[in-house]
Amino acid sequence: MAPPVSIDAPYNFVPLADWVHCPDWADRVSHDLPFADGVSGHLDLKITTHTPLLVGGVQQKATAEAPGEVRPFRMPDGRYAIPGTSLKGMIRAVVEIATFSRMSMVDERRLGVRDLTAAARPFYGNYMTSTVGDKTYKAKAKAGWLTFDTNKKTWLIQPCHFSRVEQSDLDKFSGNHWFHASKNERKTAQQKYDAWNRDLNITFDAGPEEPHRHTPGQLVYSKAKNLGQGSSTGTLVFTGQPSPKKHMEFIFYGANGLPIEVPEKVFRGFLDIHDAKTEHSEHTAWDDWRGKDRLPVFYLEEPGHKGTVASLGLAMMYKLAYKNSLHDAINNSCQKHLDDSLSDMATLIFGRVGDASEQCLKGRVTFHHAVADGDPCEQAQPVTILNGPKPTYYPNYIKQPDAKDGKLSDLGHYSTLMDDNCKLRGWKRYPVRPLAQMGVQSLTPEQAQNTAVQIKLHTLPEGTAFSTRISFHNLKPEELGAICWALTWAGEEQLRHSLGMGKPFGFGQINISIDSETSIFLANNPSGSDSQPSWEGCMQAFVSYMEKSAKKAQKSWKSSSEIISLLGMADPDKNPIQGSLHYMRLSTEKDNQFKDAKIARLVLSEYAKGRHPDLGKNGSKKSGSDSASEWPNVEIKLNPGNGELSASHKERTATLRNPEAQKLRDDLPEEIKQRLKNKKSLKNCKIRVEQIGNAWKLAAILAVGETPIAT
């Protein structure tokens, strides 16, 4: 497969601002004391869907026999509806960005990294291993038993020695050949312990620390031999099976010094990675050991400080806790983002919950349920999977100063949470797209075999209309204007919101209009104004206010990258220079697009700067550009693993995924279909392609050699 040229992702980020705006009326917000220029009333709204919509109601979990299912939310009387809380969350997210409010609702977490690619060598490989010769490496991690000292109320590590042991030797010793039979299964450590089903204590001889040949070169370690007959006694320690290539386990034995206390901050970093269900629905390895008397761990010492624990994990090349937390990265953009003493405009409008009563603030807007007009019919979408967020994927989630046009510079390095000046990319958003680019992502062969991860989404069709109301009390005109700006995207009718489940597939694209005739605006002081308040007037007051506020801070508002990105991701006609709006694949070690992107030193392009050079200001193709829709004399390749078709032309690669790839192959003449199946390629082809972002889609095969085709 050709190396990737851009990162595919159904999301992007509005940059996190380096300033926070707090209105000067914050200390006067009240439900009881009206503003002199305040407004109360309600907005009547009409919501229209442009793509299928699913705001989840009844959910059925997936099992080993059947995929899960999610159906739309219904009122008690059976009518379809959008909960008011869903609408409130969607609009608040827009208001937070548009008003340069604080990024305050982010949990404090310390993520971890385990990355063996060359790009990660500076911040992972060099931490975990040392080079002791030409292509010869030695792990820095030490072994020990983790215990809790009930008297000192602290965690201790009793250092010990360790040797590595071949799985094939364990098979011979046990006589069950379990490791050999399960090579292709990614067994967890607990599954290995359960399968061993015998005493973990074992006699053996520990070999000397010497080089042993492995795929990356030579690794230095002690190797166990003479199992069941040696002069030393140790305890078998199993770790997970990340790939079939892994062929060794561990034996811990003896004592290697006095117990070492684990600093609270270090142990907290360990728990942040292993105790919280952050990236996987299954329980973690820490859960298997919770409550046990002792836990086998590997740890690193602080450089130059023998007998101090810098980090620890559950494997020799363990997931390393990042130096900086998510809050550290937010603070690097602007410390005001996490200053709870500040009240930004979003907080003043929507309220907040605090630990103490004086920290709480009641919101002054109420979102009612949006009820569907008529009785729309549910549509069952093809079975798919819903990927969870991967905040550890630093090419996307961390700001990359050394990147340009979606790639690191020649001498640049990836920025990660290991760097003191690291920054989060910003507010995560799902760009809207045309209806033709909407649809669930097809399953990989591995996913198709596992119904436990599959989901079937039942959506309401595009064109479904909803009616609802927002009630507001004692809002400043600028505050009401912020809500109206967010609801209507500043009156730009072509812009859309994303709502509900399936946003990564293009579902839930809606627009909202305000009914001026039935909406009510009541001025707190009617005699103080010559004109009746209106939502259009309030929205203009908000725009003027934000422009003035930004100017005072020596910033811009409407022309800022934050506002440009926010509006750009709401425009289905924009064509940003990022990859296709779908998730990259991670099905096998040989089909890992996340890894391939890092090897190619790619980053997710910024949306505000992401206009393809062949596109005009409105996103349309320039005349005379090199964005031709037909590519001649190309070779079409078939990936036998996932059925994907691809073709390259002038350093560009067009791809087509299943089920569309399967349909295109089925439409080929029988002789050409068999040639593609047998040879896995078709040469001298003419194809038609479509550009989606910075990626290319193989749309049709026009000819194979001299044979015209119509697919």
**CA nearest neighbour of 486 among 20, 43, 90:** 90
Whether this prediction's pTM lies above 0.85 is answered by: no
Under 8 Å between Cβ of 563 and 98:
yes
Q: Amino acid identity of 78?
A: G
| Whole-number pLDDT of residue 380 | 93
Domains in the chain, CATH or no CATH each: 12-105+328-568 (no CATH), 112-321 (no CATH), 628-708 (2.40.50)
| Whole-number pLDDT of residue 608 | 64
| Whole-number pLDDT of residue 282 | 46
| Whole-number pLDDT of residue 279 | 40
Tokens of residue 435, six digits: 């209806």
| Edge-to-edge strands, sheet with 217-221 | 129-133, 136-139, 217-221, 210-214
| Whole-number pLDDT of residue 287 | 65
**CA nearest neighbour of 564 among 694, 436, 406, 431:** 431
For 246-395, strand residue ranges (E) read: 248-253, 260-261, 295-302, 305-313, 320-321, 365-367, 370-372, 379-380
| Whole-number pLDDT of residue 610 | 41
10-residue mean pLDDT series, the chain (711 residues): 81 95 94 92 96 90 90 95 97 97 90 87 90 91 94 94 94 78 70 86 96 87 95 94 86 95 91 63 59 89 88 92 93 94 95 81 95 94 85 94 89 92 96 85 82 92 96 97 97 94 94 96 78 89 96 92 94 78 76 88 79 37 48 88 81 79 88 91 90 74 87 66
| Whole-number pLDDT of residue 431 | 94
Distance of alpha carbon 97 from alpha carbon 485, whole angstroms: 12
Distance of alpha carbon 231 from alpha carbon 434, whole angstroms: 71
| Whole-number pLDDT of residue 191 | 84
